[in-house]
């Protein structure tokens, strides 16, 4: 048996984190959890489903309310760490990330942050979401796969390596997309832009490309940002690879769920957790 604090702490330990990040929260605590249901998106309907099917807790991946919704923008600063680690000067990276943080803060201010947590409290269903820690687990696995390759290998080798190492990419209904560049282009220097709240879009990809990165991997990117990146960098030896949102999220989530099972919990995976 575990409680909600232990469920959260396990994810932090596995991701190498010391505190709960801003995009994760325990909305309604609970004890003596033997049986939990988990999914990427778990809202009011899934809370009722969990109650009706006799589960002891509902675990979501994406933030849904309370501080995880209101303070979500804070985790976007992780982009700054990733960009500077890849060689982007902080003087370039900081204003780009700051603009993303400011825009996200203004957007989240209008959110009904109490909607779903209030339902969990009303029906007394233990409820939490774990976002950044599980994405970080997945990112570390993607980096390990990338490190098996050499810069002169083609982009297609990265895709093949990911599929070989992570089953989620084998079974997903979505497939990798090389939206800028070509599968035949050399990888060069690779940046895995994941586990930073959400994707960096055009400005962060541009910063990577302009400061020595040849291949940027996002798990998703809007059509508008994709088009801007394509117009600026197509034919210049740069590559933008999209791995797929749900399959990429599922990578870290499955590692966490497997560990829960090892610790004796019965865990049911739904809502995008590909197995």
Mean per-residue pLDDT over the chain, rounded: 98
Q: By C-alpha distance, which of 263, 224, 210, 182 is closest to 83?
A: 210
pLDDT attached to residue 79: 98
pLDDT attached to residue 164: 98
**What does the block give as tokens for 219?**
């798990």
Q: Strand 25-28 and strand 127-129: pairing? A: antiparallel
The architecture that CATH gives domain 4-131+252-269 is 3-Layer(aba) Sandwich (3.40)
Say if 4-131+252-269 and 136-248 have the same CATH topology.
Answer: yes
pLDDT attached to residue 107: 92
* Edge-to-edge strand list for the sheet holding 177-180: 177-180, 239-242, 215-218, 190-192
Terminal Cα distance for the chain, rounded = 24
Instruction: State the Cα–Cα distance between residues 138 and 255, nearest whole angstrom.
Output: 8
According to CATH, the topology of domain 136-248 is: 3.40.1390
- For the chain, the structural domain boundaries read 4-131+252-269, 136-248
Instruction: Give residue-wise pLDDT tens across range 146-165.
Output: 999 999 999 999 999 999 99
Query: Which residues of the chain register pLDDT less than 50?
Result: none
pLDDT attached to residue 219: 98
pLDDT attached to residue 90: 98
What backbone torsions phi and psi does residue 183 show, to the nearest 5 degrees?
-60, -20
């Amino acid at each position: 048996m575990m409680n909600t604090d232990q469920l959260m702490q396990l994810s932090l330990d596995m991701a190498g984190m010391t505190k709960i990040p801003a995009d994760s929260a325990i909305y309604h605590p609970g004890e003596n959890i033997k049986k939990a249901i988990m999914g990427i998106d778990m809202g009011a309907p899934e809370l009722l489903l969990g109650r009706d099917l006799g589960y002891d807790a509902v675990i979501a991946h994406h933030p849904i309310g309370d501080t995880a919704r209101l303070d979500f923008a804070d985790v976007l600063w992780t982009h700054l760490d990733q960009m500077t680690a890849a060689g982007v000067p902080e003087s370039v990276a900081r204003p780009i990330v700051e603009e993303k943080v400011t825009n996200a803060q203004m957007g989240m201010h209008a959110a009904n942050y109490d909607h779903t947590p209030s339902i969990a409290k009303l029906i007394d269903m233990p409820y939490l979401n774990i976002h950044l820690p599980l994405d970080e687990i997945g990112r570390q696995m993607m980096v390990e796969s990338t490190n098996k390759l050499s810069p002169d290998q083609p982009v297609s080798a990265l895709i093949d390596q990911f599929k070989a190492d992570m089953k989620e990419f084998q079974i997903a209904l979505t497939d990798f997309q090389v939206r800028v560049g070509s599968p035949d282009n050399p990888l060069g220097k690779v940046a895995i832009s994941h586990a930073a709240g959400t994707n960096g879009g055009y400005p962060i990809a541009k910063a990577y490309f302009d400061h020595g990165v040849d291949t940027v991997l996002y798990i998703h990117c809007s059509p508008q940002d994709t088009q801007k990146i394509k117009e600026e960098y197509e034919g210049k030896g740069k590559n933008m690879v999209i791995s797929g949102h749900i399959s990429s999220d599922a990578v870290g989530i499955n590692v966490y769920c497997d560990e829960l099972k090892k610790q004796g919990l019965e865990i049911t995976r739904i809502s995008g957790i590909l197995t």
